Chains A and B, each alone.
Chain A
Amino acid sequence: MNDFGPILILMAVSGLICTVMVVGSWVLGPKKLTPYKSSPYECGVAPSGEANERFPIKFYLVAILFVLFDIEVVFLWSWLTVFQSAPLDYQIFTGLAMLVYFAFWILGDWYVLKIGALDWDEAASLAPEKYIDSSLPAFDPSTSLTPERVAVNS
């Protein structure tokens, strides 16, 4: 049994516990399914429309950026582990090389922030026609957002 053997046993035991937990209630609990119970929960009213709706592209963008940055971190691991115990000339040489690497890394990060790839506020998620046009008067909540107006509208 090598170093990783106990890890396999740990995974087997935790997998067993997880299975028991999930299957246990399925076996022990009563089963009286009615159409109302088995319908999707949407705040107690009848569900409407498709559940798999469109969602913002931002989530996909974040996933792509994560893959990019995480691979950059992965490249570091092997270097940074041996760095401490390496001789001085190796440390200085690879240190400078890694600073160049980090310069590219920071450049990429700066670019991502610059184009607003990680902005989650209104500017990034609203349709363009829904935000500012400086020729129009700014929104003033004290005059505009009164219950009276909501009533008029409806």
Chain B
Amino acid sequence: MNNPSTSSGHRTWIPRIVVFQCQYSLYCEADQRWMDIQLPQHIKLIKAPCTGRIGPLFVLNAVQGGADGILISGCLPEQCHFKEGNLGARRQLDEFRRFLTYLGMEEERVRFVWIDLSERGRIQQELADLEETIGAIGPARRLATRAIPAGENL
């Protein structure tokens, strides 16, 4: 299943995606339930109390552990549950992505989704969009240095 080659036109490789989510960013009940219960196998959800908790080390560990795509979802500036946790995170994570790009990672692999509290269904769209982008650029080769445990999806 991890074979990146495409055979006879249809894709056999499924990108591994890690989603870092602020637990307050999905206000919509249905969206959150979909994330918690119905998330496809190749997407791994990691919840944090706030985007401010999602540090560069989290992202780096995901990249090194073999994630092909990383989606970081947070609240819009004025809507942070902790007033300003997301503001610090935005500056740090934006710079961290630029830094990883400087070291040779494809920029598209890390994506930010700043979700308005009223946007229903946005997260599904963004995930599908990210999967398509990652599918086009192929599996992560650079910076993915840690051995992935055999038989595990992530």
Decide if A and B are genuine partners: no
